[in-house]
Amino acid sequence: MNAATNACADTFETIGKPPAAGGAAVLDDPLELPRYTRWIAAADGGRLGESSLQLGGMHCAACAGQIEAALVAVPGVREARVAAASQRATVTWDPRRTRPSALFHAVRRAGYEAVPDAAAPARELRRREARVVLWRLFVAAFAAMQVMMLATPSYVAGAGELAPDLERLLNWGSWVLTLPVLAFSCGPFFRGAWRSLRTHRIGMDVPVALGIAITFVASSGAAFQPGGLFGSEVYFDSLTMFVAFLLGARTLEMRARHRAAEEMESSLARLPETAELVADDGTSHNVSVLRLQRGDRVRVALGQAFPADGDLLQGPTQCDESLLTGESLPVAKAPGDAVVAGSLNLGAPVLMRVLRAGPDTRLEGIVAMMRRAATERPALARLADRWAAPFLWIVLLLAAGGAAAWSFVDPSRAVWVAVSVLIVTCPCALSLAAPATLLAAARALARRGVMVQRLDAIEALARTDHVFFDKTGTLTSDLPALAGVSLTEAGRHRLQGGPPQALEVAAALAAWSRHPLSQALARAAQAAKAADMADADEASRAANRANPMDGAASARGEAGSGTGPGPAAAFTRFTEVPGLGVQAEDGAGAPWRLGAPGWAGSHAAPEPQGHVCLARDGEILASFEFEESLRPGAAEAVARLREAGVRVTLLSGDRTERAAALARRLGIADVVAGASPEAKLAAVAAAQAAGHRVAMVGDGINDAPVLARADVALAMGQGALVARAQAGAVLAAGRPGDVLVARRLARRAVRLVHQNLLWAAAYNATCVPLALVGWLPPWAAGLGMAASSLLVVGNALRVAR
């Protein structure tokens, strides 16, 4: 059992309450908690749980406030965030004062459903919700068609052509057909309105339920007592059509939410339920992935997903990491390379060592970011929510005023006008405009390897006009690259093969070291060998095309004319001296050294930093120069940002000459070198004071303060945890080019949000006057409101295209 689970178990024992029974016992099981709960540090040094809940029964943004209020009322709950767009809740709670089961009970007491945000129960909840919604839609649509058939004679018959008793019979039939719509299909609207009123809030279901109730009561009075208080006009056809239209719109919105949830669950589905644990004696058995611990050895079959983060003990293989990084091509892995949970093993069966398991894996971290983003309320959404409640009060006043005015002009149309105003102005589109678009943008970015932690980051990134890049680990790779090989006079005499032979000998020594410079030498030698083999193959093919017999003889001659085993085969007695280098002996017993110049040679001249020397028996033979290697696409990303009008600044704590050299390679004119964390913070603050919207891209612990200060922070996926915690988004693949992709998509998302808000405002400004003057019947108002919501959701989904 991992540390978080042990801590949770120990904490629960201190509560002093009897264990829960039935479903509560499962929810409170410490082994199951990691599936929907992660642990964070509290300000007092204790531990807090952050649980993700999948919700059901929500129909509008006002439901989110009611659930939040119910959760916050639970003793021990520190914070509750509910997002109506994704129907998820994130609850921070103190395990010393409450249990997870209390959170679910609180949501159910408030009239909603809740299950842990894990795949199986969430899928079942979605299935039940979809089934009920479809049945409600079917009943409303079927009844609306039948009611319309009964109402048709009233529309097509001329004056006096329809007998009064027959008209009354048709109205009674419409009343009977409307009853199941009112009792079953309208249930969510009435329950939502009652919950809003009970909590002294006004939600979007209030005007809808009020309009339905007024229409039904007025139409019933007209049907059973024509010419009485409610006149002779019935609106059963308008009522049933309106309910059918609204339920149709909510059904499509539900399907969009369900697709988003399924995309998130596909991330977790990549993690296997069990793993093949290999014991010290070589035997193996299957265990739950929740039981894996650091240091365990696990065998991963071909085609299976890695169950935890770790490194390869036996290989090589290839891994599909597209889910985590957005990289479509398989990545080659050799023994010692890192593998991540959720990536697929495509090459061969391998043995891995577990370094991080359960909630500590990179996959779980990414999913936690996606969950957090799904429960965030961005500034634009909060602005819409603030205006929604006053807008609803204005709607109620307009409906009452319209009914009062029409009671003097034409009393038979007073109810008709009031219902139209209530229905047409329901601000569903207004509340959906921002969250639907930003959530769609967050999902689109996640598919590209950019994990949004805060939806506000999308808005801030769209307005960014100045990007600060940290140098080491952000624009440059963690591993250096070989820049050149130079031979001394002694080296030219002893190494007849020149720099290639020097590189081959150095690589044979470097293969025994894990130092970054040694690994860079080994990679350079492998690349050179692969290039030589490719050139030889091309020369052989050219010779065969020119003269097949000569080509074959040439190939046989080359194969048999080797110079004997290389130096690597003769080296023995390898030793690595930490901080200095590696040494070994050749077949003649002579010592060879690869490392720092002063250590490798007895009379070495001072070499600049970043140089490694190869020496035999204290005599320097060759010197290897290294440079920082740029991350793939770094130069192109900087160039494209500058083309887009974005100012780019390089921040580095490195020496001025090294930072300036790298800036020249990248085409960056603005460089802040030798910068301490305070100097980086001052540079960002100065840019903000000048009116710039600043984005900071970094990866290290020293970048955390400046990441927190920037308008939007982007952290590299392999960076320090504290840097990722301060970031609004994480570049999971570590590609600088993803900054450009994220900014472009963020700008598109904000444009669509503005379009949605403009449409919602224009729709209400146009339709409210039409309803007040009596030109918009209730059925047309219902169609307009449903179409408005659908248009907003459909426009939001365009952001991912």
Active site residues: 470
- Quote the CA–CA distance of 453 and 440 in Å, as a whole number: 14
Cβ count near 569 (within 10 Å): 11
Decide: helix, strand or coil at residue 254. Answer: helix
Q: Dihedral sign for Cα 660, 664, 668, 670, please.
A: positive
Q: Report phi then psi at 461, rounded to 5.
A: -65, -35
Beta bridge partners of 276: 286, 299
Q: Is 695:474 a contact under the CB 8 Å cutoff?
A: no
- Quote the CA–CA distance of 77 and 91 in Å, as a whole number: 7
Tokens of 106: 């609180």
Q: Of 162, 178, 155, which is closest to residue 236 (Cα–Cα)?
A: 178
52 alpha carbon, distance to own chain's centre: 15
Q: Is 757:414 a contact under the CB 8 Å cutoff?
A: no
* Burial category of 639 from C-beta neighbours within 10 Å (exposed 0-12, middle 13-18, buried 19 and up): middle
What is the DSSP-derived secondary structure letter of residue 53?
Answer: E
Helices 778-797 and 737-772, packing angle to 10 deg? 170
Query: Residue 774: left if φ>0, alpha if ψ -120 to 50, beta else—which one?
Result: left
Cβ count near 448 (within 10 Å): 18
Instruction: Name residue, tokens 């577990």.
Output: 354
Helices 737-772 and 428-447, packing angle to 10 deg? 160
* Burial category of 588 from C-beta neighbours within 10 Å (exposed 0-12, middle 13-18, buried 19 and up): exposed
Decide: helix, strand or coil at residue 112. Answer: coil
Q: Of 308, 323, 343, which is closest to residue 267 (Cα–Cα)?
A: 323
What is the DSSP-derived secondary structure letter of residue 279?
Answer: P
